[in-house]
Amino acid sequence: MTLLRLLFNRFRWALLSVLALSIASAGLSVGVIAFTNERMLHPQNELGPTLALFGGLLAAVFVIGTASQICMTTLGHRLVYQLRRTLVKRILDTDLERLEQLGPPRLLASLNSDTSHLTSAFVSLPSTVYGLVLNLGGFAYLAWLSQPLFAATAAWMLLTVMAGWLLMRQTHARINAARAIEDLLYEDYQAALLGRKELALNRQRAERFYRDEFERHADASRDRETAADIFNGFNENWANAMILGSIGLVFFLAHGAGWADHAVATTYSLTILFLRTSLTGLIAAIPSLIGGSVALDKLNSLQLPEYRPDFSGLHHPLPPNRQTLALQEISYRYLETERGNRFSVGPLDFTLRTGEIVFLIGGNGSGKTTFTRLLTGLYAPQAGTLLWNGAPLAEPDRPAYRRLFSTVFSDFHLFHRLLGPDGGDAAPEQVAYWLEFLELTHKVKVEDSRLQDTRLSQGQRKRLALLVAILEDRPIIVLDEWAADQDPGYRRRFYTELLPLLKAQGKTVLAVTHDEHYFDVADRVVKMDEGHLLEIGSHCWRTESTCVSQLVQ
C-alpha cells in the first residue's frame, strides 16, 4: 500500500489511467471465460461467428493487457528514476554533520540496495495489480454463477488468506532483518577496499576480518533471506493447494449437497483453475513488494531534507567587495566522541582579511579541522555569529557564503571535471598554465576539461586537487596540511613561490601547517589549543625561532 500511495502521490492521473486499463483487461479476461461457457460449450451456436467473436475478444485482451503492462512498467521505472535522482539531490542538500552521523555504508546501502529493491518491487507491481483486478472480477463472476457456492468458496479462501497472512508476517520480519544486515555488509565492503594496504600487510588481520566480521554478517544475511524465501514458499504452496482443494469442495457441494448442477460446477471449477495462476503469482510477488516497502522505510529513516530541484545559492552570491570575514564568539560542541566525552570548540574570535596568508598550527585533536569546517560553513555554529564586512550572516546566506571557499582537505576527493569560476569548463590556457606551475604537464592528460588519469602519488594527487581549487577562482583557499605529502623541493616552492603568487592575485589563503621554517611567508600565525584559538604575535614568530618552537610544541 505504501508503494501504491507513493505512486499515487507522484503520478496520480497516470496511475488512474493504468488502473482503468488493468480493470478493462481483467474484465475482458473474465469475459473470455463467460463467453466460453455461454457460447463455445453449446454446439447449437454457429461455429464461424462464434470463433470470430472469440478471436476478437482475444485480440482485445492482448492489446489492452499489453498496453496496461507497458504503462505500469514505464510508470514504475519512472518512479525509480525519480527516487534515485531525488535521493542523490537530497544527499547533496544535506548538511555535512548529518551525513557524518549516517556514515557512508548506510548511505551507499540506500543508494544501491534500497533503490534495487524498489526497482524489483515496481517491476512486479504491474502483474500484481493486474492479478488483483483479475481476481476481483473473477470472484464477482463466481458470485453471479452461484451465490451459495461463492459463500462456501469465500469462507474457504478466508481460511487460506488468514494462514497466508501469518506466513507473510514471518516473511516480512525476515526481509526486514536481512535489510538491517546490509548496512553492516556495506561497512565491510568499505573496510575491504579502504583498508586494503593494512590487510595486505597483516594477513592475520585479513583472516580475522574475513571470518569474524564479513563472514558473520554474510551468513546472517543469507540465513534471513533464505528464511524469508522458505516462508514465502510455504505461503505459495499453501495457497496453491487450497485453491485446488476448493475445486473438490465445489464438486462435493454441487453433487453431494445438491447446491448446483453439474454444468455450473464445471464452469465454476474452470474459472477457479483460470484464476489459480494469477493468485499464486500474487503470492510470489509478495517478497518483492515487502522488500520495496522495507526499502522505502529505510530511505525515509535517513531523515534527509525535502527534495528541492534547484541548487540554492547558485544565483545569489554575496557581494564581491569583500574586506573582512569574522567569527564572533563562535562555539561548537560535538554530541559525543568514542571515549564518551564531548569535545567542544570555542568561543572563537577570528578575522580573515582580503589578500592575507594565515597559517594555522596546533596538535592533533586540538580542533583545527572543526575550526576550518566552521570557517567554511560546512558546520553550522551552535552559538556566535559569522560577520561579512561587519554584517551578520543569516541561515539563508550559508549556501552563498560557502561559495567563497575552495578547499583541499586532508581527506579530499579528487574530481575529474575541471570547472571555471562560473561553473563551466575551465579555460584551457589556465589549465595549461597551472599544470606547468604544479609540474604535472607530463604526468596528467586533460581532455575536454577532464582529468584522464589520477592514479598518481598522494603528493601529486594533492597538486591536482589544488589545481581544481585554483581553477574555481574563489576568493578564499583553505589548505589542510597540503605540503605534508610533497617532496622537499616542491614543498619549498609551495611556500616561497605558490603562496606569494596566490596572494598577488588577491587570494586569501588559510593553510594548516607545521612547517615552522616557512612561517615568515605568512602574514599571521594562529594556533588551536584544546578548542581555543590563540593569535601568535609577529614579534615572536618572525624574530625568535625558539619562541616558535615552544608554541608549536
Shared domain check, 126 and 17 = yes
Shared domain check, 226 and 179 = yes
pLDDT-derived band at 502 (thresholds 50, 70, 90) equals: very high
* CA separation for the pair 510, 376 (Å, rounded): 11
Average pLDDT over every residue of 192-217? 81
Residue 365's nearest CA partner among 505, 252, 255, 530 is: 530
Q: How confident is the model at residue 333, as a pLDDT? A: 84
Q: How confident is the model at residue 56, as a pLDDT? A: 83
How is residue 485 annotated by DSSP? G
Q: How confident is the model at residue 478, as a pLDDT? A: 92
Q: How confident is the model at residue 126, as a pLDDT? A: 65
Q: Is 210 exposed, middle or buried (0-12, 13-18, 19+ CB in 10 A)?
A: middle
Better pLDDT: 344 or 519: 519
| Grid cell for residue 375 | 570557517
Shared domain check, 529 and 388 = yes
* CA separation for the pair 513, 479 (Å, rounded): 9
Shared domain check, 23 and 144 = yes
Domain annotation covers residue 124: yes
* CA separation for the pair 514, 126 (Å, rounded): 63
CATH code of 59's domain: 1.20.1560.10
Percent of the chain with pLDDT over 90: 5
Shared domain check, 334 and 296 = no
Shared domain check, 343 and 202 = no
Average pLDDT over every residue of 18-34? 76
Better pLDDT: 48 or 149: 149
Q: How confident is the model at residue 470, as a pLDDT? A: 92
**pLDDT (tens digit per residue) in 282-325:** 777 777 777 788 888 888 888 888 888 777 655 566 665 656 88
Angle between helices 115-145 and 12-35 (to 10 degrees): 40
**pLDDT (tens digit per residue) in 39-76:** 655 556 666 777 788 788 788 888 887 887 777 777 77
Domain annotation covers residue 317: no
Q: How confident is the model at residue 543, as a pLDDT? A: 47
Q: How many domains does the chain have?
A: 2
Average pLDDT over every residue of 331-350? 73
Shared domain check, 144 and 242 = yes
Domain annotation covers residue 412: no
Shared domain check, 385 and 260 = no
Domain annotation covers residue 435: no
Q: How confident is the model at residue 549, as a pLDDT? A: 41
Q: How confident is the model at residue 343, as a pLDDT? A: 77
Domain annotation covers residue 428: no
Q: How confident is the model at residue 321, as a pLDDT? A: 61
- What Rg value do the Cα atoms of the chain yield, rounded? 34
Average pLDDT over every residue of 91-118? 82
Domain annotation covers residue 455: no
Listed residues 267, 301, 335: the one ending a domain: 301
Of 99-113, 305-319, 325-339, 447-461, which range is least confident? 305-319
Beta bridge pairs of residue 534: 527
Q: How confident is the model at residue 550, as a pLDDT? A: 42
How is residue 112 annotated by DSSP? I
Of 64-68, 373-377, 459-463, 541-545, which range is least confident? 541-545
| Among 13-22, 119-128, 149-158, the range of highest mean pLDDT | 149-158
* CA separation for the pair 207, 251 (Å, rounded): 64
Better pLDDT: 369 or 278: 369
Domain annotation covers residue 314: no
Residue 273 predicted with pLDDT over 70: yes
Domain annotation covers residue 102: yes
Listed residues 266, 301, 336: the one ending a domain: 301
Q: How confident is the model at residue 305, as a pLDDT? A: 85
Shared domain check, 12 and 89 = yes
Considering the chain, what is the average pLDDT of its residues? 81
- Containing domain of residue 337, as a range? 324-404+475-552
Shared domain check, 484 and 356 = yes
**Amino acid letter, residue 496:** T
Shared domain check, 377 and 253 = no
Shared domain check, 176 and 112 = yes
CATH code of 364's domain: 3.40.50.300
**Amino acid letter, residue 116:** S
How is residue 322 annotated by DSSP? -
* CA separation for the pair 47, 39 (Å, rounded): 9
Average pLDDT over every residue of 412-423? 84
